Amino acid sequence: MAKMLIKKHESCPADCSQCIQACAAARGGADPVVEKISLPEKGYETVLTCNQCSDSVCVDVCPAGALTAEDGKVMLNSDRCIGCGLCNLSCPYGGIFSAKSAHKSFKCDGCREYGSAACAENCPLGILEETDAAAVEEQYCEDPCSPGMQFCAGCGMELVLRMVLRSVGPDIVLFGAPSCCVPADRVKVPMYSTLMTNVASAMTGVSRYFHRIGRETICVSVVGDGGTCDIGFGALSAAAERGEKFLFICYDNEAYMNTGIQRSSRTPYGSWTNTTQVGSVGRGKSRDAKDVPMLIAEHGVNYAATATIAYPEDFIRKVKKGAEAAKTGFAYIHVLAPCPTGWKMEPEKSVEVTRAAVETNYFPLWECDKGEYRFTYKPKKVKNVSCFTDYMRRFAHLDEEEIAILQGYVDARYSQIKRLTQPVLPD
C-alpha cells in the first residue's frame, strides 16, 4: 500500500527534534534520515527528508542501479551503492544524505522495516504526516472529463467534480443545477441538469425508478451552496427527511459565484460580496453562515459529512462511504471548494486555503454515521482564523474586532460539533 509522507509548510519549534530521535531509533541507531534545518536569521525552522518523488532524478542518475523506485518509494540498496556522489549532486531537494564515514549515500526508506513512518508518528505538531496515498494515486488512472473544461484558474469545484467521478466510478447519473458546474458537455457520464429549486426532487424520481427496475446506478449531485442551502433547500430537506436513496454533494464556495458573486446563506460573517459591500455603510456580511451540513445531519440521515480538497484521502473515503450509505438511505457531503475569483485570492493557493480552513477550525472535518458524530481530522495546533482569512481579499477590510467576532462564530460552531461527538452522560 502506498503511504506518503507529507511535510507541511510550517515552522517547527526550534528546540524540537522528536522526529529525528524517532528516526534514529527506528533505524536501530543508524544515522537518521530526517535532518533538522535551523536558520534563526530567517526565522526558518524545518526538517528535511526525501520527498519520494515519483519521477526521481536520483534513480535516473545512479550508474549502479542502487537506487530504484518501488511501490511509491525510492529505495537505496547500500550494497550496490559505489559512492559516486551523483545522486547527491543531482537531487534538487537535498533529500539524499552522504554517509559520514563510509563512501555511501543513504536515505529515507519510508520506514520499510519499522512499518509506519516513525518521524510522523512522533511529530507533536503534525508537521510531518503520513497518509495512505493509494486512494489518491488511483485517482490518476482515467480522466472522467473531456478536454476543454471552461472553469476559472484554480477552481475548487472542478477538483471536487473529478474526485467524485473517479471515486464513485462510471455507474452514475450526475445531477446539477444552473451554476458554475454546468459541465454537462464535458463529463463522460450521463448528466441531468434541473432547476435550482428541484435537484433533490429530480434525484428522488430517477433514483426511485432505478430501484424499482433493480438497477444499481447511483444518483449523485454536484450542486453549489446557493442551490443546496437556499433555493433548493426545501426540496433537499424533504428528500432527507423521506430518506431518499441518493448521494447529495454540495460544493460550497460561500456565495452565488456564477451570477457574479452575490451573498448566500453560506457566506461567512464579514465577507465581501457584491451584495454585502464594504464601504461607508457596509462591512461585508453582517450575519454568520447557516450551518447546513449540521442541519442535514440532524434530519437523521444515513450519512452526512464535511470535506475539503486539501485532504483528498479523507474526501475520497467519505465519497465512497456516502455512495455505500446511499444504497439504503440519504447521504450528504458538504465540500468546501474555493472560488479564487469570488474569494479574491491567488488561484494557485486553492488547495492551501482549504487546508488553512481546516487547520483554523473554520471548517472542521467530521462525519455523522447513522447519528454518530466524529471528527475525521483534528489539527494538532489550532490556529487563529486570520491564518485562513489572510489568504483572501474578500476579508481584507476586517479589523481586529471583526476578526474576533468571526473567531467567536468559529469557536461556537466547533464546540457545538465537539459536544455532538461526545457520548451523552446520564444526569
Classify residue 267 as exposed, middle or buried by CB count within 10 Å of its CB (0-12, 13-18, 19+). Answer: buried
Measured between alpha carbons, how far is 282 from 257 in angstroms, rounded to an integer?
Answer: 20
Q: What three-state secondary structure class fits 35? A: strand
The nearest distance, CB 69 to ligand FAD, in angstroms, is 21
Burial 60-87 (b: 16+ CB within 10 A, else e): eebeeebbebeeebbbbeeeebeeeebb
The nearest distance, CB 88 to ligand FAD, in angstroms, is 12
Positions in 160-219 near ligand FAD (CB under 6 A)? none
- Give the position of cell 526558518: 44
The nearest distance, CB 84 to ligand FAD, in angstroms, is 5
- C-alpha 96: how far from chain center: 29
Position 83 contacts ligand FAD (CB under 6 A): no
The nearest distance, CB 86 to ligand FAD, in angstroms, is 6
User: Cβ closer to ligand FAD: 84 or 295?
Assistant: 84
Measured between alpha carbons, how far is 185 from 181 in angstroms, rounded to an integer?
Answer: 11
Tell me the three cell numbers of residue 4: 506518503
The nearest distance, CB 82 to ligand FAD, in angstroms, is 10
Residue 9 touches which member of ligand FAD, another protein, none, C-beta under 5-8 Å by kind: another protein
The upper half-sphere exposure of residue 39, i.e. CA atoms within 13 Å in the direction of its Cβ, equals 7
Q: Where are the beta strands (DSSP E) in 90-217?
A: 97-98, 105-106, 128-132, 172-176, 191-193
Q: What three-state secondary structure class fits 303? A: strand
Beta bridge partners of 374: 367
Residue nearest to ligand FAD (CB): 84
Q: For 170, left (φ over 0), alpha (ψ -120 to 50), or beta?
A: alpha
User: Beta 35-39 vs 44-48: how paired, if at all?
Assistant: antiparallel
Residue 62 touches which member of ligand FAD, another protein, none, C-beta under 5-8 Å by kind: another protein
User: Cβ closer to another protein: 100 or 212?
Assistant: 100
The nearest distance, CB 217 to ligand FAD, in angstroms, is 54
Residue 212 touches which member of another protein, ligand FAD, none, C-beta under 5-8 Å by kind: none
Position 88 contacts ligand FAD (CB under 6 A): no
Measured between alpha carbons, how far is 108 from 87 in angstroms, rounded to an integer?
Answer: 14
User: Cβ closer to another protein: 95 or 144?
Assistant: 95
User: Cβ closer to ligand FAD: 62 or 222?
Assistant: 62
Question: By C-alpha distance, which of 164, 220, 213, 166 is closest to 190?
Answer: 220
Residue 171 touches which member of another protein, ligand FAD, none, C-beta under 5-8 Å by kind: none
Measured between alpha carbons, how far is 343 from 393 in angstroms, rounded to an integer?
Answer: 7
- C-alpha 135: how far from chain center: 13
- Give the position of cell 449540521: 294
Residue 337 touches which member of another protein, ligand FAD, none, C-beta under 5-8 Å by kind: none
The nearest distance, CB 26 to another protein, in angstroms, is 22
User: Cβ closer to ligand FAD: 30 or 82?
Assistant: 82
User: Cβ closer to another protein: 327 or 349?
Assistant: 349
The nearest distance, CB 137 to another protein, in angstroms, is 16
User: Cβ closer to another protein: 48 or 405?
Assistant: 48
User: Cβ closer to another protein: 72 or 205?
Assistant: 72
- Give the position of cell 454585502: 276
Position 84 contacts ligand FAD (CB under 6 A): yes
Measured between alpha carbons, how far is 266 from 311 in angstroms, rounded to an integer?
Answer: 21
Residue 238 touches which member of ligand FAD, another protein, none, C-beta under 5-8 Å by kind: none
User: Cβ closer to ligand FAD: 60 or 372?
Assistant: 60
Tell me the three cell numbers of residue 153: 484558474
Where on the chain is the footprint of another protein (CB under 8 A)?
Answer: 9, 37-39, 41-42, 44, 46, 48, 57, 60-65, 68, 80, 82-86, 88-96, 98-100, 103, 348
The nearest distance, CB 319 to another protein, in angstroms, is 29
Beta bridge partners of 232: none
Residue 100 touches which member of another protein, ligand FAD, none, C-beta under 5-8 Å by kind: another protein
Return residues touching ligand FAD (CB under 6 A): 84, 86
